[in-house]
Amino acid sequence: MIDAGISHRETDKRLKRLGLSIKKIKAIFITHEHADHINGLHKLYKKLQVPVYITRATLGNMRLSGSEINPIPFQAYETISVGNLTITALPKFHDAADPHSFVIENNAVRVGVFTDTGRLCDHLIKSFAQCHAAFLEANYDEVMLETGSYPIHLKERIRKGFGHLSNKEALQLFLNHRPSFMSHLILSHLSANNNTPEIVEELFSAVAGNTEIVIASRRNETAVYQITGSPSDPVSKLVNPVVKKGQAQLSLFDQLLAR
């Protein structure tokens, strides 16, 4: 997974350092329209000429026109095939037009991408409980946010259900809903001003058990991991719960930026 918020040149550099080629990217999925996730999209598309999957509402709230990125619309709960992968989009709570999380599956292996979400909803809980690995937002430490320099309206935006997950909320999800077969948890989208990698690592490492805890850097690429699964792992089909609006191997690479 890459971040469309950075330039294609920087993306290329980071992939090369991991021994990967930018030419291996076969599709781009847009979670939502916030600038830190799409600033590099136009040039990345121009370089790669690969499908850009995006909801109509998200596209309508971007400065880019459809002609600039040749978008392919998707809807929640739709399963999209890209090579041997299947990707399912799930709605989430965030202050964007039509934000989604994604679950990527390859045979018996599921990997979740759960960032930029303001609360623990049914989608997140059920999907997380079926993942062999996950990118999970741990955006802010509650004390650092409360005592920090952000204006009150920004603090409220972050912590009132349509912003970001705190370390405490992410830890709650991990403790209560981690499946026994989850091998890797990549904690992502850490705030530069309201969190530190040291705080997050201390919280999660103490209860990690057999799950490897990885803290995704804000500025550098994260290593490539091999995620394995078994057909006997008790996963079920991702379904559409009622939520109000408001052995196969899978290589992962990630660089997520926090605001």
Query: pLDDT by residue (tens digit) across 105-161?
Result: 998 899 999 999 999 999 999 999 999 999 999 999 999 999 999 999 999 999 999
pTM, to two decimals: 0.87
Within-domain flag for 39 = no
Within-domain flag for 51 = no
Within-domain flag for 193 = yes
What domain range is 217 assigned to?
Answer: 75-252
Number of domains in the chain: 1
The amino acid present at 149, given as its one-letter code, is S
Whole-Å CA distances, 245 to 29, 123, 191, 219, 237: 20, 12, 25, 32, 22
**Residue 159 to residue 42: CA distance in whole angstroms:** 31
- Torsion over CA of 105, 186, 173 and 131, rounded to 10 degrees? 20
Within-domain flag for 116 = yes
Q: Residue 37 corresponds to which tokens in the numbers above?
A: 């996730």
The predicted structure's pLDDT at residue 240:
52
Contacts of 243 (CB under 8 A, 6+ apart): 91, 121, 122, 123
The predicted structure's pLDDT at residue 233:
73
Contact status, residue 94 vs residue 32, Cβ threshold 8 Å: yes
Q: Which segments in the chain show pLDDT lower than 50?
A: 1, 241-259
Strands 212-215, 184-188: parallel, antiparallel or unpaired by DSSP?
Answer: parallel
DSSP class of residue 3 equals -
The predicted structure's pLDDT at residue 43:
87
Within-domain flag for 28 = no
Burial 29-49 (b: 16+ CB within 10 A, else e): bbbbbbeebbbbbbebbebbe
**Residue 182 to residue 129: CA distance in whole angstroms:** 9
Within-domain flag for 169 = yes
Residue 108: give its domain's CATH number: 3.60.15.10
**Residue 1 to residue 213: CA distance in whole angstroms:** 17
Within-domain flag for 203 = yes
DSSP class of residue 104 equals E
Within-domain flag for 154 = yes
**Residue 64 to residue 30: CA distance in whole angstroms:** 13
The predicted structure's pLDDT at residue 108:
85
Minimal CA–CA distance to 105: which of 79, 126, 125? 79
What radius of gyration do the chain's Cα atoms show?
A: 17
**Residue 157 to residue 203: CA distance in whole angstroms:** 24
The predicted structure's pLDDT at residue 163:
97
